[in-house]
Structure 1
Amino acid sequence: MTQVPLSIAGETLSGDGREVADVLDPSTGEAIGTVVHATTADLDRALDAAARGFKTWRNTPADQRSAVLMKAAGLIRERAKDIGASITREQGKPVKEAIGETVYCAMLLEFYAGEIKRLYGRTLVRPAGSRVEVQYHPVGPVAGFAAWNFPALNVMRKIGGALAAGCSTIVKPSEETPSGGLAMVQALIDAGVPGEAVQCVFGVPDEVSRHLLASPVIRKVTFTGSTAVGKHLAKLAADDLKIATMELGGHAPVLVFADSDIDKALDTMTANAFRNAGQVCVSPTRFLVEEPVFAKFRDGFVERTKALKVGNGFEKDIDMGPMASPRGLERMESMIGDAKTHGAKVLAGGERIGNQGWFHAPTVLAEVPTGAEIMNEEPFGPVAILNSMAGEDAMIEEANRLPYGLAAYAWTQNPARRRRLAAEVEAGMLAIDTGGVSAADAPFGGVKWSGYGSEDGREGVLTCMVTKTVHEG
């Protein structure tokens, strides 16, 4: 990688006369290239293009739009190894995970290609001679802002459903991990999406978001990132009553009951907790383990954690790569130190690995009091918290204690308890006896401070549409 350009109105724009910023390799901390920052004039040009692109793309026949998205999915599959490698260089995750992320983007497009043909309205029953029809129409140009932890997938979630709905899009991937998102945009353009309908810009995040959201051209904003930034963008969107989808922070509880398959839970959740070095919005972080099985679960979790192999994402058989930035390391050191001050026990890891790059050991904390920062704020790093709980009522109360509600997990073989958990656990997604909360055809999103609106699934298209009711006499 040398320089990651802008893509505006179908034109690739280099850094000639524009500011650029370094892109760093998290395995070494060294610069591996630069990313171009858009000027104000570039952003204005992108807005003008998005307005034109919306008129073109929304009027493209559904069969044709579907075929274009399917072709783009095929191109992404063909390019998955190269795109995955670029993600690993910039973000650090094991290359097998990066390739898997890329393939998931293709799966989303394949689903959306079919969903284009399933955007049905409905006709309401009325007396002969009259008619009421409910229709769905694309909301208009969409501005998307994507986080660095899933450089390709976060971008595809911003643009895939919007394009399926008939909207044009401007997306801003993270400047720290720019290549994966740009690759998604390029595949769509190469497949036949007009360059005015799918654009990619970079720049100082607050400056870009303020400029785009101040424009009446943009009719929807969609964001993945922290709750604090999400609240800020929601306020900007509210000034013009723009529709918003917010996929924000979490702090996922894992309720482990005595009747569960402990070995299966351990095998699944240990790997899940340290996937992408814990830098996952749905990462399981707070393990609430029923007292009779706590010791067995704790010992098994620690054993599996210590067996994980940490290293450069391109090395063979790596389980976990580095953290994506030095900010993550600093946060881990601060939160673990605070937990220890509050009396928490460090059972595995707890410190940085080496002095080159941003590696941190997979960490297990136990007996962490609720007053510790890490029990109340998302760590977003390779750490799992294990606490013993008295029973179901106490576990549900602790699971719901925080203002976050993105993902939650539970392990139990009791059918009645499963139904109770589904009703009572406050989360946008609940996984019972599995580690998966994401599927191309299922809505992905949270409640409370974890945001609102959904990506993926049919809902990921409908959140980019408005409802119109037509009454005929």
Structure 2
Amino acid sequence: MDEFEVEYPELALFIDGAWTQGAGGRGEPVTEPATGRVLGRVPVAEAEDLDRALAAAERGFAVWRDTPIEQRSAILRKAAALIRSRAQEIGRVMTAEEGKPLAESVGEAGRAAALLEYNVEEARRAHGRIIPSAVGETLSVHRVPVGPVAAFVPWNFPAGGPMRKIAAALSAGCSIIIKPSEETPGTSVLMARCFEEAGLPPGVLNLVFGVPAEVSEHLIPSPTVKFVAFTGSIPVGKHLARMAAGVMKPTGMELGGHAPVIVCADSDPVAAAKACARGKYANAGQVCTSPSRFYVHEAIYERFVEAFVAASEAVKVGNGLASGVTMGPMANERRREGVHELVLDAQKRGARVLTGGQVPEGEGLFYPPTVLVDVPEDSRILHEEPFGPVAPILEFSDLDEVMERANALPFGLAAYGFTERAATADRLVRGFEAGILSINHTGGSVPQAPSGGFKESGHGREGGAEGLDGYLVTKRVSHKLALG
């Protein structure tokens, strides 16, 4: 196969165990961000398709809820094995439609399979308990699946994003209607095929694409849907949460962030800079937990900046399918425009660009790794999530003061700290107002531990034992012996 050749799948909706082009024939082109070529056409769901999905999810839930856990586990494990065996194929499609380097995409497909396997095992332990009570009475707690789920995910993690919702819902015994992004549909289609081939009953997993407002406004108010799961921006998350609250429906929200990084004076500035650059440029910075505000102690500031610039300039930008490329294009034009606007705003206010900062000529939605210094506090980039490969680096002298700056925004998703002292690490962990904390590295989420934010970055957790909570309902049962 040619290095840039991709066998892109035929795109379709998956409803009630069958593939369909939708009732109305509407569709949208899917383009490759590295070249601009059209990869395929994604169908758009109509109200009729969504009604079919709701009915299918209701029937599927009745079947899946009562399927023994051993049988459910076997089917889901088979699906995970199929995804893992096809990680290269899924990864090539993911890179073509989203842009990230192939190694990142293949790794993401493998992690999606691992996430499903972990949730399957966690569901086997999501049992209730017997509580000691009065003589003649049995007091117990039961955890049961909540019901059909409606889920909505963005484009930046085409395999991992959908799988976080699918794995938790299906492992808990729920059915699901999921709407991935119309910009990256091929990855979801390939994963849905794995569930289909694994023997998942019809209606348990339903995959739809469409106009976001049309889909959410149809699914969320439906009495069939019992839980709403969303990953995306804060404004959209608030809108969906209000819609769900109108019908007293629970939600799980993983929303935007603007993760601060505090690099303390006792840190190795070169090692810290390299670690920060790796985290910053993963997926071209299009990650909600991406480190995005770098506060570096004045004693090591210059060495950190020098090392960070060197690491930034060593990044090889290009088509994610090309060998040696370590950062691909932005996923769409609006993201590139948004990132560049933030850079220009910072420059107008006095910031200096040490590397990058220019939109390159030629095809593809590329944007170079960009480092800003002397960034004024009123710059938009210090207050708005950049979601791109731009790193503003600022000095600090006092840890308490910089912690206040780090916590000043309404976001609370991720935060990072670098220090060699256990006492300082403890201060950072206790002080950061964020739900995902990393000390001396910028690694991402893992299946076995919970991830999620607070403040305006959302509520609920994904991963770990807590990841199933939103998909389960707790019942308390008091059973007295019959009177003689």
**TM-score, reference length from structure 1:** 0.98
CA RMSD of aligned residues (A): 1.2
Q: CA deviation at 1:399?
A: 1.0
Equivalent residue, structure 2, for 1:133 = 140
Contact 1:27 1:357 in 2 (8 A): yes
CA distance in 2, matches of 1:354, 1:317: 21
Paired residue secondary structure (1:126): coil
Equivalent residue, structure 2, for 1:418 = 425
1:116 aligns with 2:117: no
1:234 aligns with 2:236: no
Task: For 1:196-275, list aligned pairs within 5 A.
Answer: 196-275=203-282
Aligned-partner residue type, residue 355 of structure 1: G
Equivalent residue, structure 2, for 1:317 = 324
Post-superposition Cα deviations, 1:251-284, rounded to whole Å, max 9, x if no partner, equal 0001100112323222221111011110000000
Equivalent residue, structure 1, for 2:288 = 281
Aligned-partner residue type, residue 194 of structure 1: P
Aligned-partner residue type, residue 397 of structure 2: A
Aligned-partner residue type, residue 326 of structure 2: D
Aligned-partner residue type, residue 277 of structure 1: A
Task: For 1:448-459, list aligned pairs within 5 A.
Answer: 448-459=455-466
Contact 1:407 1:437 in 2 (8 A): no
Q: CA deviation at 1:195?
A: 2.4
1:350 aligns with 2:357: yes
CA distance in 1, matches of 2:125, 2:251: 23
Paired residue secondary structure (1:4): coil
Paired residue secondary structure (2:184): coil
CA distance in 2, matches of 1:124, 1:110: 31
Post-superposition Cα deviations, 1:218-261, rounded to whole Å, max 9, x if no partner, equal 01111111001000100111111111011110000011001123
Equivalent residue, structure 2, for 1:305 = 312
Q: CA deviation at 1:15?
A: 5.7
Equivalent residue, structure 2, for 1:291 = 298
Equivalent residue, structure 2, for 1:19 = 26
1:64 aligns with 2:68: no
CA distance in 1, matches of 2:99, 2:191: 19
Contact 2:45 2:210 in 1 (8 A): yes
CA distance in 1, matches of 2:24, 2:444: 44
CA distance in 2, matches of 1:112, 1:348: 43
Q: Which one is further off, 428-437 or 74-83?
A: 428-437
Equivalent residue, structure 2, for 1:175 = 182
Equivalent residue, structure 2, for 1:443 = 450
Aligned-partner residue type, residue 363 of structure 2: Q
Paired residue secondary structure (2:450): coil
Same amino acid, percent of matched pairs? 48
Aligned-partner residue type, residue 129 of structure 1: G
Q: CA deviation at 1:410?
A: 0.4
CA distance in 1, matches of 2:339, 2:440: 29
1:386 aligns with 2:413: no
Equivalent residue, structure 2, for 1:368 = 375
Paired residue secondary structure (1:310): coil
Equivalent residue, structure 1, for 2:4 = none
Contact 2:29 2:38 in 1 (8 A): yes
Q: CA deviation at 1:112?
A: 1.3
Paired residue secondary structure (2:209): coil
Paired residue secondary structure (1:235): helix
Post-superposition Cα deviations, 1:353-373, rounded to whole Å, max 9, x if no partner, equal 223110001101112112011
Aligned-partner residue type, residue 345 of structure 2: D
CA distance in 2, matches of 1:243, 1:194: 26
Aligned-partner residue type, residue 293 of structure 2: R
Contact 2:23 2:48 in 1 (8 A): no
Contact 2:24 2:46 in 1 (8 A): no
Aligned-partner residue type, residue 338 of structure 2: R
Segments of structure 2 that go 5 or more residues without pairing to the other structure are 1-7
Aligned-partner residue type, residue 212 of structure 2: P
CA distance in 2, matches of 1:415, 1:463: 35
1:40–1:292 distance in 2 versus 1, CA, 3 Å: same
1:412–1:124 distance in 2 versus 1, CA, 3 Å: same
Contact 1:26 1:323 in 2 (8 A): yes
CA distance in 2, matches of 1:294, 1:77: 43
1:44 aligns with 2:51: yes
Aligned-partner residue type, residue 375 of structure 2: V
Post-superposition Cα deviations, 1:182-205, rounded to whole Å, max 9, x if no partner, equal 222221221122120001000000
Contact 2:259 2:291 in 1 (8 A): yes
Aligned-partner residue type, residue 69 of structure 1: L
Equivalent residue, structure 2, for 1:80 = 87
1:2–1:435 distance in 2 versus 1, CA, 3 Å: closer
CA distance in 1, matches of 2:194, 2:462: 20
Segments of structure 1 that go 5 or more residues without pairing to the other structure are none
Post-superposition Cα deviations, 1:120-174, rounded to whole Å, max 9, x if no partner, equal 2122222332222111111110001010000111000111101111000000010
Contact 2:9 2:190 in 1 (8 A): no
Equivalent residue, structure 1, for 2:468 = 461
Aligned residue pairs, count:
473
Aligned-partner residue type, residue 457 of structure 1: G
Post-superposition Cα deviations, 1:7-56, rounded to whole Å, max 9, x if no partner, equal 00000002675101000110112222110111111100000000000110
**TM-score, reference length from structure 2:** 0.96
Aligned-partner residue type, residue 36 of structure 1: P
2:169 to 158, 162, 172: 162
1:192–1:3 distance in 2 versus 1, CA, 3 Å: closer
Which ranges of 4 or more aligned residues in structure 1 deviate by more than 4 Å? Answer: none
Contact 1:311 1:321 in 2 (8 A): yes
CA distance in 2, matches of 1:72, 1:213: 28
Equivalent residue, structure 1, for 2:3 = none
1:91 to 92, 98, 108: 98
CA distance in 2, matches of 1:187, 1:296: 49
Q: Which one is further off, 55-64 or 265-274?
A: 265-274
Paired residue secondary structure (1:185): helix
Aligned-partner residue type, residue 84 of structure 2: R
CA distance in 2, matches of 1:451, 1:18: 36
Equivalent residue, structure 2, for 1:472 = 479
Paired residue secondary structure (1:430): strand
Paired residue secondary structure (1:229): helix
Paired residue secondary structure (2:300): helix
Task: For 1:320-335, list aligned pairs within 5 A.
Answer: 320-335=327-342
